[in-house]
Amino acid sequence: MGRFSFFGEGLPNIDLEELKGKLIVLEGTDGVGRSTHVNLLKQWLENTGHAVLDTGMTRSALAGKRLRAAKEGHTLGGITMSLFYATDFADRLENEMIPALRAGFVVLTDRYIYSLMARSIVRGADPEWIRDVCSFALKPDAVFYLRLKINDLITRVIQTKGFDYWESGMDLHLGQDRYDSFVEYQSRLLAEFDKMVDQEGFEIVDASGSIEEVFDDLKGRIARVLEPEPRPAPQKAKPRTD
Amino acid sequence: MPASMKMYGKHRFPGRLFIVEGIDGSGKSTQVSLLHKWLESEGYVASFSEWNSSPLVREVTKRGKKKKMLTPMTFSLIHATDFADRTEHDIIPPLKAGAVVLADRYIYTAFARDVVRGVHRDWVRGLYGFAVKPTVAFYFRVPLDVAMKRILGGRDAIKYYEAGMDLELSADLEESFRMFQSRIIEEYEKMVEEFGLVVIDATLSIEEQQAEMRRIVTEALTGTKKTRVRRWVDLASLGKASPT
């Protein structure tokens, strides 16, 4: 038995036995520091001798460019946006992540199906529907959920890039201005992520500390995921006489 | 705040949705276009939505096909994205307004093609769970040889994905097309009962098929309002007529 499995029926023509690498996911709301940590972790992993593929939403060769452009126009409906993201994800899963896993890489992904599902549900999609749509995904080895309380998140976003149209959920008309909308939208996303903690087996990582603190925390957790798998018990004990 | 998503069969709209399905060369596009003209001449507001036509995703699909970048899964998802965009923009709003919407190919095209490509049957049905259930779904049943003759007789060359060349059934385009389409027919035939598709014998004359469609559509239109919209052309002709 290979280590990997799909959530549901899965992709056609994939031999799971061939997948050797590790699939590690960083999740969390916007502005929580995911991409910073993906970059730091990548360097650290490469320094310690692991080959790393990093990937993230809207980076697919197939749909990434158009998806980013479509967002500029702000005309995507909720279901359409969910499926466009799913297309982008599938392209990266099949053409980037799976080949890398086959080659024994550590795949480090900035967001996974969980962000896709959370955004979709917040935009009115049927939770069961979007879950089934995403069920062709591989179950990751670990999901680290970088968590910040809404107030800390606001402070951080104000200090960095400000309130982005989509990150404020402006398409949902939740508040009078970007601030109100951001607070409401990100609170709803947080609630969806929090619901997934038990259901999806997220490891919660407190993202309120300094970059160094969070990075150290993540390193410790990832080191445990990368430990060689314990050899089957019979090999430890003296083999019985046959 | 977006309204919560409604699933297949749960939408309640005053409008009517008629769709046509069938393999390439079944004549369904000719029939739906005749139906469109007739509906408008009868005074209905009818709009038309075509498979794979959303301006938003068309470029991705086109590029993906041209560069042969599509896997069965991304092929399926990009077509569903296109369909979602058209559902949200071109299908649901006119149905809400009580209009008639016509579609050349619908979710059943995806069910047939994607399943033949190896995508899981239940997964693809779930994927399109948001689709509006058509008032009537016509299936133009045609023997493969008849359809092949119609296609090879005219129009453009058969394309890579249309012939299912990605499935590597045969190195010969025409042979691959034949094998691919015969599997599609098998899938359609299974769906006749599953989704209550209304079968039209596509070997009959164009006139006979159209008469049958109009009979069925007329029945389904009971209670739909005719909204004759005077266009500026009509007004102009009135203007000319009135002084005399």
CATH number of domain containing A85 = 3.40.50.300
Bridge partners, residue A143, by sequence: A25
According to the model, what pLDDT value does residue B1 have? 37
According to the model, what pLDDT value does residue B242 have? 44
To the nearest whole Å, the CA of A76 is away from the closest chain B CA by 7
Q: Which domain holds residue A135?
A: 16-226
What tens digit of pLDDT does each residue of A62-81 get? 888 888 877 766 567 889 99
Amino acid identity of residue A36, one-letter, is T
Distance between CA atoms of residues A235 and B239, nearest Å: 97
Q: Whose CA is closest to B95, among B15, B9, B6?
A: B15
According to the model, what pLDDT value does residue B241 have? 47
Nearest to B60 among A10, A66, A135 (CB): A66
Residue ranges of domains in chain B: 16-236
Q: Which CATH architecture has domain B16-236?
A: 3-Layer(aba) Sandwich (3.40)
Question: Does A2 map to a domain?
Answer: no
Count of domains for chain A: 1
3-state secondary structure of A31: coil
To the nearest whole Å, the CA of A210 is away from the closest chain B CA by 36
According to the model, what pLDDT value does residue A178 have? 86
Question: Does A160 map to a domain?
Answer: yes
Q: Chain A within 8 Å of B122 (Cβ-Cβ)? A: yes
What tens digit of pLDDT does each residue of A177-208 get? 888 888 899 999 999 999 999 999 999 999 99
Q: How many CB atoms lie within 10 A of CB A236?
A: 8
Question: Does A231 map to a domain?
Answer: no
Q: In what order do the strands lie in the sheet with B16-21?
A: B46-50, B100-104, B16-21, B136-141, B198-201
| pLDDT value at A241 more than 90 | no
Give, as one character, the DSSP assignment of residue A6: B
3-state secondary structure of A2: coil
Report pTM: 0.88
Give the residue, A39 or A58, on which the prediction is more confident. A39
Q: Which two tokens stand for residue B100?
A: 């008639």
Distance between CA atoms of residues A67 and A58, nearest Å: 7
Distance between CA atoms of residues A23 and A104, nearest Å: 10
What tens digit of pLDDT does each residue of B180-224 get? 999 999 999 999 999 999 999 999 999 999 999 999 999 999 877
Phi-psi region for residue A74, left (φ > 0), alpha (ψ -120 to 50) or beta? left
Residue of B nearest to A8 (CA): B123
Give the residue, B152 or B95, on which the prediction is more confident. B95
